[in-house]
Amino acid sequence: MAYEKIDAVIVGAGASGSVFASVLTRAAKKVVLLDNGPDWQLTDLISSDIWGRRVKPAGAPVLLEGNHPFAAYTNQAGWGVGGAALHYFANFPRYLPNDFKINSEHNRAHDWPISYEDIAPFYDRVAVDVGVSGDAQAEEKWRPAGASYPMPPMKTFPNGEVWLKAAETNGIRFVPGAVGMSSTAYRGRPACMYDGWCHVGCPIGALANPVVTYLSEARKAGAEVRALCTATRVLSNQEGTRATGVEYYDANRQRQVQEASVVILAAWSAQNPRLLLNSVTDKHPKGLANSNELVGKFMMVHHIAGTWALFDEDITPHMGTVGAQFMSYDRYIKTSYPGAFGSSFIVTGAAMKTNDYAAARADLFGPELAAFMKRAARGITRITFFGEELPRLENRVELASDKDEFGMPLARLIHGFDDDALALWNANFEQGMKVAKATTATTAWPGKPPFVPAAHLHGGAIMGTGPENSVTNSYGQTHEIANLWMAGPCIFPTEGASNPTYTIFAVSLRGAEYLAQNWGTVAG
Ligand SMILES: Cc1cc2nc3c(=O)[nH]c(=O)nc-3n(C[C@H](O)[C@H](O)[C@H](O)COP(=O)(O)OP(=O)(O)OC[C@H]3O[C@@H](n4cnc5c(N)ncnc54)[C@H](O)[C@@H]3O)c2cc1C
Ligand code: SF4
């Protein structure tokens, strides 16, 4: 069956794709979203670590290579409608002004082509659109003033509170975590009940996932979602000047083409460059938007340093949400530690489950593990530092010679941390131990496995001032093909240390509105 040409086809119905769909349908555009996973509904979300695996990624693997392969890829990638944000932890810190100008301030990496002030109004609007809880004024000790969040902070519990005094004595001031969760009933969604199952998706809709926020609006306004549809290539015209649509394989493994005036890739950081690289033509022998060979380059992740503490008293480790009760930017200045470079963002007070307790002491077995688990169930907690790595050309996505079931080459994600990133990771452990030792915990230890834990993939199609330094402009429009757009963290030129999704929503809202306002010139 041949589909009619539409206004916009969006690949990926996750966080960024949903924002584009919402804005474009509001502008009366005919929009289709393709997603390679199922069309998840809230009723599919079951609060169980075993059942929760159903919403975890499936599909073609990504080959993980390099000195520090991004082993968390499968745990971090989204699969199905809602994307990874269907079951994220919804920590919603902003980037700070210093993130946008590392090059000007430190002569390293890249500046963003925009400043904090360009994004700030979109942060305030996203907070209202999706429902953020927190204390914006308390955060303003680190950033310029903005609007209040629409809901007050979430409840706190002893597993978060036990860190506060000890952190303060180490110069780390905690404020209530900003989270995409409902502390009160909000826009028809109920308040959170603090059972800590966010990581497998919140069945009551208290978590601000795309299915209950932007995507729900888009669907009401007429967006069509085609689930179990895997995009394999962006198609372009004979002259190589325009994207004409997307080739994909539907739920019956049949090849289909969706023609559109505008193509938006919102399939997350590894898959977006994979699609561009696989879209070769004689006019684009290196892949689309890749004359400068920057597609797939500058991949970045946050390294994670988690320090554990065990208390004798019952600090209710299971209570709360999987997001943070408290957060701090007091190590966000890029030169916070001598001998290391980059920002760190600090959180504490995440609710834990049995497997988290076990993972805290992976060296224990049998009776020793059982005894530890008994104590941990009442007394364990963690302080976590997310750390920044700077963009480097050698951290990249390439096409492999192995192919998936549709004949599309798999992605190779090659990643290694440099000395600066490793120094920052180690400094964050030292800092975490100092704080832990200043609490009343009986024992504290760094959660340092024989690899560097990491999360949040960024880069692969970064934004910049022109084709000499980037793939897209600040709105996500590719420099080479005016009607081909990229959405999500793939366009971030640096990654800060804050969890990215609040910024993904804000940058996507800015890009989508620019596209809607300039539709005539972009869509042709
Ligand atoms: C467990 C977990 C916890 C997290 N916690 C936080 C947090 O606390 N705070 C935070 O800021 N971020 C968090 N994140 C990260 C956050 O979810 C992502 O940053 C965000 O979802 C990325 O948005 P996106 O639109 O780029 O991709 P996604 O939301 O993942 O959407 C991409 C979509 O593209 C689809 N897709 C991929 N390839 C194709 C293809 N070829 N054809 C069709 N469809 C395709 C996928 O199925 C997916 O639905 C967490 C993620 C996970 C998994
Ligand atoms: S803790 Fe709150 S947001 Fe998380 S799953 Fe439970 S009700 Fe939903």
Q: State pTM to two decimals.
A: 0.98
Q: What angle do CA 155, 157, 159 make, to 5 degrees?
A: 140
Whether 80 is in the pocket of ligand 1, judged by its Cβ within 6 Å, is: yes
Average pLDDT, the chain: 97
Fold for the domain defined by 6-523: FAD/NAD(P)-binding domain (3.50.50)
Q: How far apart are CA 26 and CA 155, in angstroms?
A: 35
State the burial class of residue 30 (Cβ atoms within 10 Å of its Cβ: 0-12, 13-18, 19+). middle
Q: To 10 degrees, the CA torsion angle through 316, 321, 327, 331?
A: 90
Whether 37 is in the pocket of ligand 1, judged by its Cβ within 6 Å, is: yes
What spacing in Å lies between the alpha carbon of 82 and ligand 1's midpoint?
Answer: 8
Categorize the per-residue pLDDT at 1 as very low, low, confident or very high, splitting at 50, 70 and 90. Answer: low
What spacing in Å lies between the alpha carbon of 163 and ligand 1's midpoint?
Answer: 30
What spacing in Å lies between the alpha carbon of 251 and ligand 1's midpoint?
Answer: 21
What spacing in Å lies between the alpha carbon of 365 and ligand 1's midpoint?
Answer: 34
Number of neighbouring beta carbons within 10 Å of residue 165? 13
Out of 33, 88, 301, mutate this one to test ligand 1's pocket (max ligand atoms within 8 Å of CB): namely: 88
**Residue 91: DSSP 8-state:** B
The pLDDT tens digits for 154-199 are: 999 999 999 999 999 999 999 999 999 999 999 999 999 999 999 9
Q: Distances from the Cα of 437 to the Cαs of 170, 305, 346, 444, 464, in angstroms? A: 11, 16, 17, 7, 44
Whether 225 is in the pocket of ligand 1, judged by its Cβ within 6 Å, is: no
Categorize the per-residue pLDDT at 55 as very low, low, confident or very high, splitting at 50, 70 and 90. Answer: confident
Whether 11 is in the pocket of ligand 2, judged by its Cβ within 6 Å, is: no
- Residue 177's SS3 state is coil
Q: Which range, of 48-52, 139-143, 202-206, 314-318, averages the lowest pLDDT?
A: 48-52
Whether 157 is in the pocket of ligand 2, judged by its Cβ within 6 Å, is: no
Whether 85 is in the pocket of ligand 1, judged by its Cβ within 6 Å, is: yes
Which one of the ligands is nearest to 190 CA? 2
The pLDDT tens digits for 57-88 are: 777 899 999 999 999 998 899 999 999 999 99
Ligand 2 atom 2 nearest Cα:
192
Q: Do 508 and 218 meet the contact criterion of CB atoms below 8 Å apart?
A: no
Percentage with pLDDT > 70 across the chain: 100
What spacing in Å lies between the alpha carbon of 436 and ligand 2's midpoint?
Answer: 27
- Residue 406's SS3 state is coil
Residue written as token pair 């590894």: 270
Is pLDDT at 408 greater than 80 in this prediction? yes
Whether 461 is in the pocket of ligand 2, judged by its Cβ within 6 Å, is: no
List the domain boundaries for the chain.
Answer: 6-523
Closest CA to 144 of 117, 124, 114, 178: 117
Mean pLDDT of 435-440: 98
Q: What is residue 315's predicted lDDT score, i.e. its pLDDT?
A: 98
Q: How far apart are CA 436 and CA 444, in angstroms?
A: 6
- Residue 342's SS3 state is coil
Please provide residue 251's backbone torsions phi and psi, each rounded to the nearest 5 degrees. Answer: -60, -25
The pLDDT tens digits for 268-316 are: 999 999 999 999 999 999 999 999 999 999 999 999 999 999 999 999 9
Out of 321, 322, 325, 352, mutate this one to test ligand 2's pocket (max ligand atoms within 8 Å of CB): namely: 321
- Termini Cα distance of the chain: 26
Mean pLDDT of 34-46: 96
Q: Do 190 and 182 meet the contact criterion of CB atoms below 8 Å apart?
A: yes
Element (H, E) at 348: strand 344-348
Q: What is residue 453's predicted lDDT score, i.e. its pLDDT?
A: 97
The pLDDT tens digits for 378-388 are: 999 999 999 99
- Residue 211's SS3 state is helix
Mean pLDDT of 462-473: 98
The tokens for 97 are: 């002004």
Q: Which range, of 60-64, 134-138, 391-395, averages the lowest pLDDT?
A: 60-64
Ligand 2 atom 8 nearest Cα:
202
Whether 12 is in the pocket of ligand 1, judged by its Cβ within 6 Å, is: yes
**E strand intervals along 388-468:** 396-403, 409-414, 443-446, 454-458
The tokens for 295 are: 């597609």
Whether 42 is in the pocket of ligand 2, judged by its Cβ within 6 Å, is: no
